[in-house]
Amino acid sequence: MSTRQKVIIVDDEPRNQRIAIEVFEDLVEYRVAGSGEEALALIDQELPDLVLLDIMMPGIDGYEVCKRIRSNPKMAQVKVLLVSGRAMLEERMKGYEVGADDYMTKPFVPEELQAKAKVFLRLARTEKELSDLNLNLDRLVQERTNQLLDAESKLVSAAKMSALGEMAGGIAHEVNTPLGTIGMLAEQVQELLNDEVVDRKTITEMNGRIVETVKRVAAIVLGLRIFSRDVGGEPFQAVPVKKIVDDTLILCKERLKSHKIVLNVASIPDDLNIQCRSVQISQVLLNLIGNACDAIGGLQDRWISIECESREESVLVSVTDSGGGIPKEAREKLFQPFFTTKGVGKGTGLGLSISKGLIEAHQGSLSVDTSCKNTRFVIQLQKNITQKRVA
């Protein structure tokens, strides 16, 4: 493929064409057009670096050709050198107004034409190189952005699975207990069915308990399926805050019970909604509750409180525990990646930084309430937000 630059010579006079050809034949690849219509077709096909364009031609004149070149984004980098047999200021100004890069009068001196042509060809080459660099830079930036978004998504998923892992023992117990209940009730029903006189009322009651217990297990399994789903590409939806809290507590109630932590959940109106990706808000809540469990595990007084406050345009959800607050020096680093106050091997230090990122991507905020004597984290979320990408 040729790397030589291209020039299109547009003139209806053969003599002028020959002079221009002698100037350009050793310098560039060139094509010749004898009319404005032919010139526009050639320019669209060849996308030249420079057009030597006569003004006075039958049909479409040079001004109109130049105007059409400048109105076509595809031809944005084409340089236009207008040529005319008249040198009146008014004509030159009109040429500049329609987008010409320069103006020459005929008959032109070949050396001057070549000198000007070299300037604009050099400028065209430089602009093309810059454009190529920008395109390459845009591509590299996009690739890097995609890599970062992919890494961020993986970190979010890892933090989510870490939170689930911490709750795994409790979740297993939460499932095993009702399964045991179902098995016991099924055996009792079988024994009753073997009696000569079938006690239908007792069997019906036991069957009802089995159904309710199955629903309880199904709710836990559904909660796990929803929580583990990748929702990065899903749109925001209006979701009741109460549902988000209830779905989260299904995954951690047993852990709280096994650690003898009292859970207090303030009443939340059924019709209080926020626009969000509920799984991501649930992930943040689960992380805050898990951190609270770790922080107060060695205290005598162990409790966690979840409260919700509705404001005009936002909702505040707070998670408070019985701990005595977070020291000032730790608060300053709390949301930094990989910072943790837990012992070695007991935390990645990513939970809070990722939680903060998820909430901020929801156009909200996650902060520590320093006015509370206990440890309190506050999530502020907008009731209505502008859709944007969240990892």
Q: pLDDT grade, residue 253 (50/70/90)?
A: confident
Q: What is the pLDDT of residues 8-23, one digit of tens each?
A: 999 988 888 888 898 8
pLDDT at 330: 79
pLDDT at 376 over 90: yes
Evaluate whether 23 touches 67 at the Cβ level (below 8 Å).
no
Which residue did the predictor score with more confidence, 377 or 195?
377
pLDDT at 362: 87
pLDDT at 350: 59
- What's the longest Cα–Cα distance across the chain? 123
pLDDT at 167 over 60: no
Cα angle: 78, vertex 84, 89; to 5 degrees: 100
pLDDT at 105: 84
Average pLDDT over residues 261-277: 91
Closest CA to 216 of 245, 253, 163, 165: 253
Candidate from 45-49, 67-71, 238-242, 329-333 with smallest mean pLDDT: 329-333
Q: pLDDT grade, residue 172 (50/70/90)?
A: low
Q: What is the pLDDT of residues 332-361, one digit of tens each?
A: 777 776 556 555 445 445 578 778 888 888
Average pLDDT over residues 359-374: 90
pLDDT at 335: 74
Could you tell me what percent of the chain has a pLDDT over 70? 82
Average pLDDT over residues 114-119: 88
Evaluate whether 226 touches 246 at the Cβ level (below 8 Å).
no
pLDDT at 1: 44
Classified as helix, coil or strand, 327 is: coil
Q: What is the pLDDT of residues 197-235, one digit of tens each?
A: 777 888 888 888 888 777 767 766 666 665 555 555 678
In the beta sheet, which residues pair with residue 77? none
Q: pLDDT grade, residue 130 (50/70/90)?
A: confident
In the beta sheet, which residues pair with residue 80? 51
Helix 110-194, helix 241-258: angle, nearest 10: 60
Integer Cα distance of 197 and 232 in angstroms: 58
Integer Cα distance of 140 and 134 in angstroms: 10
Average pLDDT over residues 246-255: 81
Candidate from 30-44, 50-64, 215-229 with smallest mean pLDDT: 215-229
pLDDT at 7: 92
pLDDT at 63 over 80: yes
Superfamily of domain 150-382: Histidine kinase-like ATPase, C-terminal domain (3.30.565.10)
Mean pLDDT of the residues in the chain: 81
Average pLDDT over residues 89-93: 83
Which residue did the predictor score with more confidence, 310 or 92?
310
Structural domain boundaries of the chain? 6-108, 150-382
Which two tokens mark 38?
A: 């032919």
Candidate from 137-151, 159-173, 322-336 with smallest mean pLDDT: 159-173
Record the pTM: 0.48
Integer Cα distance of 247 and 252 in angstroms: 10
pLDDT at 227: 59
Average pLDDT over residues 25-34: 89
Which two tokens mark 60?
A: 């479409």
Candidate from 126-130, 269-273, 303-307, 329-333 with smallest mean pLDDT: 329-333
Q: pLDDT grade, residue 381 (50/70/90)?
A: very high
pLDDT at 345: 45
User: What CATH number does the domain located at 6-108 have?
Assistant: 3.40.50.2300
110, 114, 117, 122 alpha-carbon torsion, rounded to 10°:
180
